Structure 1
């Protein structure tokens, strides 16, 4: 990053005083400390800190459903530009594997996603501008070799990899995944991540100035800031998604079973000797997500019942939950 500069000094007599660089007085202690804490520097730091704090406080807003306060300065149009760029890139990589729009599986997944979108529109805490006027489009990437995955981009493009369908197992399991990914966009997590990036860079630069250790600083930033923030957003999307899928009349209990299946898949796919450390992960551990889902089920069941799901069906589901009556196995997503 920095180039070494060579300076040629003329020969001096041995009885000459030692040559010193006198831009700062060498006898006044640590020059870096002087630079940082003299009157002018303190004034600049106060202005920067005050302006930065004001900017931060005026760009705090409340996330939908969860009510979490977060910092977002990125305008919506720029967020959509990021989504467009990502979409073109992903299409270029997966074009040969995407099922056509009239394929039965694409149509079935689209219908499930439409129900989730309709349910989100009924939530008074969600910004309708993030839903209405958006052209939602589902893409099924039929590649069994690809890792199980699904995501929704800013602007409404939905990608579901066929390799995740076996883990989803049924419509309610797939609704758990889709509502989770959809919730990332409702909560504007893409914009939140991009808004925090300059803050992380500034903190990283300050740490590097103090420690001079780039790798250590990155580990510190990841462990204390980036990773916890990412896990917080994943947990928030789990919660928002569970409430939306329940409002859309998908069985909330299936969310727990989905993460149990995901935990089994992760265990089977784990390389020998590999240890998953949640502290260094962008996502919460599946077991923690299961615990969270179980703790949120009473609220989700309440929303499910209030939505009059299937008329008497909704009351029967409440009866099952209250008295422990065995529930039916949800139908598989392969039943076209």
Structure 2
């Protein structure tokens, strides 16, 4: 007959197995086809839910970056370029409601997109550009995140990772052996790194979509390379190892952007 300690371990293992199976079934049983990327994606929310989530977060994100930039002429340019890209590409045929926000922050070089079509760029990054094509490169990239449904994918993957990490913690933890907490910590770290890798893959896919959208909108996709050079310069060389970063090294992105430009039949500037 098993001792109470052994019975407890068996019970924890069974619970962990159930948690892991439920997490895996929940993830792999929800797939939707994306006509823009022509891929089946594991997502567990509708486009309408993405739109609602993005709209709900707009005030908080705007406040975090000091509000909206007061220069209406600059905002109008962002709207003009962003809407031109949307109307000239497959983004036009998606259910997403695109809005473009120029943020007042003049210190933080950044651009990002919320689920459902809310796209943001800081004044600090905007001021780095010397051409409209460079602005189009950033906005095309962010529109790519939206239509590729990267946020919805990330949420689904995060839930899967949390479930599997939780199962690992349940299975490995032993109240009588505090050292097993280290195992739980390692499992949590691995889960975090897995999701970071997904983030890097998303960035590279959005780079390729950005090149495609720029070309289809009449902008020079070579400007995307210039954007990467601007971002690399703004980082000042003080980067943590790429493996621990959600964004790929700009030089690695430039190589893939060059490939995408040639793949879409455009001349690559030397």
Q: TM-score normalised to the size of structure 1?
A: 0.68
- In structure 1, the residue matched to 2:62 is 91
- Which of 68, 74, 80 is equivalent to 2:45? 74
CA distance in 2, matches of 1:97, 1:164: 14
> What's the secondary structure of 1:30's corresponding residue?
helix
Q: Map 1:45-194; keep pairs closer than 5 Å.
A: 49=21, 55-94=26-65, 96-99=67-70, 103-121=72-90, 128-131=93-96, 134=97, 136-145=98-107, 147-194=108-155
The alignment status of 1:290 with 2:228, answered yes or no, reads: no
- In structure 2, the residue matched to 1:307 is none
- In structure 2, the residue matched to 1:217 is 187
**How far off its partner does 1:36 sit?**
5.8
Show CA shifts across 1:77-121 (max 9, x none).
Answer: 332232122112123445654326xx2111112111111101223
- In structure 2, the residue matched to 1:306 is none
- Which of 30, 34, 38 is equivalent to 2:10? 34
**Contact 2:23–2:160 under 8 Å retained in 1:** no
> What's the secondary structure of 1:276's corresponding residue?
coil
Q: 1:62 to 1:96 in 2, by over 3 A?
A: closer
**Contact 1:64–1:127 under 8 Å retained in 2:** no
Q: 1:52 to 1:79 in 2, by over 3 A?
A: same
Q: Which runs of 5+ in 2 are unaligned?
A: 173-179
The alignment status of 1:232 with 2:201, answered yes or no, reads: yes
Q: 1:57 to 1:141 in 2, by over 3 A?
A: closer
**Contact 2:104–2:122 under 8 Å retained in 1:** yes
CA distance in 2, matches of 1:216, 1:117: 43
**How far off its partner does 1:161 sit?**
0.8
Q: Map 1:241-280; keep pairs closer than 5 Å.
A: 241-267=210-236, 270=238, 275-280=239-244
**Contact 1:204–1:217 under 8 Å retained in 2:** yes
Which has the larger displacement, 275-284 or 136-145?
A: 136-145
Which has the larger displacement, 202-211 or 251-260?
A: 202-211
Show CA shifts across 1:104-147 (max 9, x none).
Answer: 111112111111101223xxxx682324xx2x3332223322x1
Count of residues in Structure 1 that have an aligned counterpart in Structure 2: 261
Bigger radius of gyration, 1 or 2? 1
Higher RCO by CA contacts (8 Å cutoff, separation 6 or greater):
2
**Contact 1:252–1:300 under 8 Å retained in 2:** no
Q: TM-score normalised to the size of structure 2?
A: 0.83
**How far off its partner does 1:64 sit?**
4.6
CA RMSD after TM alignment = 3.0
> What's the secondary structure of 1:160's corresponding residue?
strand
> What's the secondary structure of 1:212's corresponding residue?
helix
